[in-house]
Structure 1
Amino acid sequence: MRGGSAPGVGPRRGRARAGVLALGLALVAAADPSLLAPPADARPARAERERAGETQPSRKPDGPINIVVSIGSQRLWVYDKHGLVDTSIVSTGTGGFPTPTGVFAVIDKEEQHYSNIYHGASMPFMQRLTMSGVALHSGVTTGRPASHGCIRLPHAFAIKLYRMTGLGARVVIAPNEPVPREIAHARLFSRKEAVPDPEEAGASPLRRAAVETGIELQRATGDARIGKITAARARELQKLPISVLVSKLEGKVFVRHGFRQLLEAPAAVREGSRALGTHVFTAVEPAGDGGAMRWLVLSVPDSPHAEAGRRRVSRASRSEAEPALALAAGPPSTPAEALDRIELPQEAVDRISEMVGPGATLIVTDHGNNREMRSNGTTDFIVLTR
């Protein structure tokens, strides 16, 4: 056959059909040009959707945030000083790898991270909670337990959350659905101006300038030694508010800034045989004159021990059972009752009051030191309630 026409179709009939097809395409294009447009590249379209809002929070967080993860509901909530910011389904640990419950903080972040435990598995928008490998990250999320201990997030929400947080962002993982509540109490710290050093106060402007120059030189030298990335992390940690931990088990109060310990002092708890509970108090903003702060509180219930004994926490200790957590008898105190029962040395109260500000947290708990809470500057306070 000539002219490339189909078998059994003559040249004239083929040309006629081609003309009809061309006319039909022209009519379709006139009605809706997008129907004939070439398919768009999926990657630019996805990037455009992300810029347009799929990966943007429903509103910008105001002040410090608290992230709450519920094991029972398989859901995550983000709160700021005004209330709920955003929420999402999650998938937490299953089988022999349950997600630990308790009080954590974001201790590291990487947009593209690969697991050094699970054969280089991709963990996009990773936010590390423990040095043993528990993290928030993008992954297959069904609203049911499915991970090896991490908290998987839908991809778009993982990007949202990554953009909302910084190092030190507080994360509470609980069996239920705790919600931050406002609390006012005389034992909560108020901001107090530090008493200046008499020698520093009387220093001449020239001496102060020399001291500042020396500090800058030391910082530049240190940055050159440890590298830009580590130096940037160190500067971010220096901007963090303080964290305070009162442990009934240890009988002490501890203060950390930038994941490094600043203070340790004795702490007495009245009615020692009674459970104190675990309560996380967050200073969200100044409240009027006189240094008073507005505080919110989250209470974290203890979880059953059954899964704690089976939990595997790292590649180096996969078959090592996590020690059982000893609990005090009876129902835990309410947040206000817990504060009433604590006695701190006045010197410690004064020093903490000089450092407290928006974002500062006070954690009051029955529990003490644990394998996840490091003292080498790599983690904030971590409380394991399971």
Structure 2
Amino acid sequence: MRRSIIALMLLVFPATLQAQGAKVSSPVELTRLADELKPGQWVWAPEIAPEGPVTIYVDLSAQRATVYRNGVRIAVTTISSGKPGHETPTGVFTILQKDAKHHSSKYNNAAMPYMERLTWDGVALHAGGLPGYPESHGCVHLPLDFSRALFGITALGGTVVVAGSAGKPMTAGAAGVLAPASAAEASMGQLADSGGFIWQPQRAPTGPLTIVISRTDQAAVVLRNGVEIGRTIVQIPRDVPDTRVLTLTHEKDGSEHWIYIGVPGHEGQSGTALDAAVAAQVRVPRGFYTAVKSSLVPGTTILVTQASIGQGSVGQKVTIMDSVPAEVAKTD
């Protein structure tokens, strides 16, 4: 009987169950092994940053996912994203639901172990096949043991950034991290009429905070638990095409710092603090600054992108997150 069960599992997850992982304890080992990963392989080094908020960065171009805790890279894995016709959407997502024993409601009750939902229409992180190329129906497949470990350190409302395009190598100048769709919109005219910003924290009183700044729109949007609670005009240099991601960390001495997450093209910045001179280049209305500052908590994420975030710009309208609060696990 046991052999039959094992054989069945190999049929369901042939590449996943044979995937090889390594647990290491130093940044040097993590970097060395991460650079050599083959399809199905992963490396995990949680001791490098044992505490702090977790952010996941999925690079569709490289078919890799990187896990950061307190702004420090602690794990890297190979993935398999959506195949042609079922492409994985790019964007900044929140973990809406977690279910270790989930089964698909769309694809013949297929097992989706350690599922972490990103959208309510079926996109999630979960254990699945890893053939070395995009082959899912839109989800991000992870090695089984890696997905189990990741499931153990994430929380509802955690931030997941999905960027790139399968089959198209990403360069340092790549933009457009946000997903093409409609969003809760506030035009530049509305912002001008309200003193330059809109602030409605009552729409989502609690939960993780994400701030997205668009160089194209010269605007920013604030989301808490995936719900838009604020929007403002911004002054920020337009002529820098790079995408940057930062997270707010809490140090042992009680101080807080904005730390870069090393997105493709800027891996060397991972874990470094935001320079005060760079921060000074971003200007927002004083009332908005005061409101946001009082709401910041460790784990808050800032994404700076060329992509548009609403009406009144030359760019594309985008959805930044599913505007639905996170839920406890349920069976679809």
Q: TM-score range by the shorter chain?
A: 0.5 to 0.7
Is the CA contact 1:62–1:80 (under 8 Å) kept in the aligned structure 2? yes
Equivalent residue number for residue 329 of structure 2: none
Q: Which runs of 5+ in 2 are unaligned?
A: 10-21, 24-42, 173-203, 266-273, 311-316, 327-332
CA distance in 1, matches of 2:91, 2:161: 6
Equivalent residue number for residue 229 of structure 2: 262
Greater helix proportion: 1
1:90 and 2:79 matched: yes
1:293 and 2:256 matched: yes
Is the CA contact 1:63–1:81 (under 8 Å) kept in the aligned structure 2? yes
Paired AA for residue 353 in structure 1: K
1:141 alignment partner, one of 108, 120, 130:
130
Note the C-alpha offset of 1:363.
1.9
CA distance in 1, matches of 2:171, 2:251: 24
Equivalent residue number for residue 59 of structure 1: 46
CA distance in 2, matches of 1:96, 1:378: 28
Deviations 1:58-95 (A, max 9, x none): 43641012222232332222222373323322211222
User: Does the residue aligned with 2:302 lie in a helix, a strand or coil?
Assistant: strand
User: Does the residue aligned with 1:352 lie in a helix, a strand or coil?
Assistant: helix
2:212 alignment partner, one of 224, 245, 255:
245
Larger radius of gyration: 1
1:251-330 to 2 correspondences below 5 Å: 251-271=218-238, 274-286=239-251, 293-298=256-261, 300=263
**CA distance 1:177–1:374, shift in 2 (3 Å):** closer
Equivalent residue number for residue 287 of structure 2: 347
1:377 and 2:317 matched: no
User: Does the residue aligned with 1:156 lie in a helix, a strand or coil?
Assistant: helix
1:1-386 to 2 correspondences below 5 Å: 58-59=45-46, 61-81=50-70, 83-175=72-164, 240-271=207-238, 274-286=239-251, 293-298=256-261, 300=263, 339-367=279-307, 368-369=309-310, 370=317, 372-373=319-320, 376-378=323-325
User: Does the residue aligned with 1:268 lie in a helix, a strand or coil?
Assistant: coil
**CA distance 1:69–1:178, shift in 2 (3 Å):** farther
**CA distance 1:170–1:82, shift in 2 (3 Å):** closer
**CA distance 1:246–1:88, shift in 2 (3 Å):** closer
Note the C-alpha offset of 1:102.
3.9
* Number of corresponding residues: 240
CA distance in 1, matches of 2:85, 2:153: 31
Is the CA contact 1:132–1:372 (under 8 Å) kept in the aligned structure 2? no
**Identical aligned pairs, as a percentage?**
28
User: Does the residue aligned with 2:46 lie in a helix, a strand or coil?
Assistant: coil
Equivalent residue number for residue 194 of structure 2: none
Is the CA contact 2:91–2:321 (under 8 Å) kept in the aligned structure 1? no
**CA distance 1:84–1:110, shift in 2 (3 Å):** same
CA distance in 2, matches of 1:156, 1:279: 30
Deviations 1:187-244 (A, max 9, x none): xxxxxxxxxxxxxxxxxxxxxxxxxxxxxxxxxxxxxxxxxxxxxxxxxx96633222
Paired AA for residue 153 in structure 2: M
Note the C-alpha offset of 1:288.
5.5
**CA distance 1:360–1:339, shift in 2 (3 Å):** same
Paired AA for residue 101 in structure 1: T
**CA distance 1:275–1:150, shift in 2 (3 Å):** same
**CA distance 1:269–1:65, shift in 2 (3 Å):** same
Greater strand proportion: 2
CA distance in 1, matches of 2:280, 2:68: 26
CA distance in 1, matches of 2:278, 2:107: 41
Give the alignment's TM-score, normalised by structure 2.
0.59
User: Does the residue aligned with 1:269 lie in a helix, a strand or coil?
Assistant: coil
CA distance in 1, matches of 2:278, 2:71: 25
Computed over aligned residues only, the root mean square deviation of the Cα atoms, in angstroms, reads 3.8
Deviations 1:103-147 (A, max 9, x none): 333222122223333333221211112233221111122332221
**CA distance 1:68–1:363, shift in 2 (3 Å):** closer
Q: Which runs of 5+ in 1 are unaligned?
A: 1-38, 47-52, 180-236, 303-334, 380-386
